[in-house]
Amino acid sequence: MSLYSLTLHDASEKLRKREISSQELIEAVFQRISDTDDDIRAYLTLCRDAALAQAKQADRRLQQESTSSPLLGIPIAVKDNFLIQGVRTTCASKILGDFIAPYDGSTVARLRSAGAVIIGKTNLDEFAMGSSAENSAFFSTRNPWNFDRVPGGSSGGSAAAVAADQCVAALGTDTGGSIRQPAAFCGIVGLKPTYGRVSRYGIIAFASSMDQVGPMTKDVRDCALLLEAISGHDQADATSVNRPVPKYSESLTGDIKSLRLGIPKEYFTTGLQPAVEQSIGAAIGQLEKSGAIIQEISLPHTEYAVAVYYIVATAEASSNLARYDGMRFGHRAAGKDLTETYMLSREEGFGPEVKRRIMLGTYALSAGYYDAYYLKAQRVRALIRRDFDEAFKHCDAIITPTSPTTAFKIGEKIQNPLEMYLSDICTISINLAGVPALSLPCGFDAGGLPIGMQIIGKHFDESTILRAAYAYEQQTHWHKKKPRLNQP
Ligand code: GLN
- The C-alpha atoms of residue 75 and residue 53 are separated, in whole angstroms, by 12
Q: Is the CB of 452 under 6 A from ligand 1?
A: no
* Confidence label for 419 from pLDDT (cuts 50, 70 and 90): confident
Could you identify the atom of ligand 1 that is nearest to the CA of residue 310?
10
Q: Which atom of ligand 1 is nearest the CA belonging to 353?
A: 4
**146-171 pLDDT tens trace:** 999 999 999 999 999 999 999 999 99
Mean pLDDT of 308-319: 97
**Tens of pLDDT along 93-123?**
999 999 999 999 999 999 999 999 999 999 9
Q: What is residue 269's predicted lDDT score, i.e. its pLDDT?
A: 79
Please indicate whether residue 463 is annotated as part of the active site: no
Q: Which among 398, 479, 36 is positioned nearest to 223, based on CA atoms?
A: 479
- Taking residue 100's Cβ as centre, other Cβ atoms within 10 Å add up to 12
- Pair 290, 475: CB distance under 8 Å: yes
pLDDT at 270: 72
Q: Residue 60 in contact with residue 23, Cβ under 8 Å?
A: no
Q: Is 154 a catalytic residue?
A: yes
Q: Please state the pTM of the whole predicted model.
A: 0.98
Please, are residues 122 and 78 in contact by the beta-carbon 8 Å criterion?
Answer: yes
Q: What is the pLDDT of residue 488?
A: 66
Q: Give the model's pLDDT for residue 110.
A: 98
Q: Is pLDDT of 487 > 80?
A: no
DSSP letter string, 51-85: HHHHHHHHHHHHHH-----TTTT-EEEEETTB--T
Residue 79 annotated as catalytic: yes
Select from 299, 448, 458 the least CA-distant residue to 387: 299
**207 CA: nearest ligand 1 atom:** 9
Contact 168, 8 (CB under 8 A): yes
The full set of domains in the chain, from first to last, is 3-259 (3.90.1300.10), 303-378 (no CATH)
Mean per-residue pLDDT for 247-251? 97
Q: Residue 309: pLDDT above 90?
A: yes
Instruction: Report the side by side order of strands in the sheet with 169-174.
Output: 43-46, 117-122, 75-79, 169-174, 212-217, 189-192, 437-444, 450-457, 397-401, 260-264, 293-297
**CA 179 from chain center: how many Å?**
2
Mean of the pLDDT values across residues 336-364?
Answer: 97
pLDDT band, very low/low/confident/very high, at 187 (cuts 50, 70, 90): very high
What is the pLDDT averaged over residues 451-479? 98
If one residue of 178, 318, 429 were mutated to test the ligand 1 pocket, choosing by the most ligand atoms within 8 A of its CB, it would be 178
**pLDDT for position 1:** 75
Q: Where residue 422 falls among pLDDT bands split at 50, 70, 90?
A: confident
| Residue 398, helix vs strand vs coil | strand
Phi-psi region at 207: left, alpha or beta (left = phi > 0; alpha = psi -120 to 50) = beta
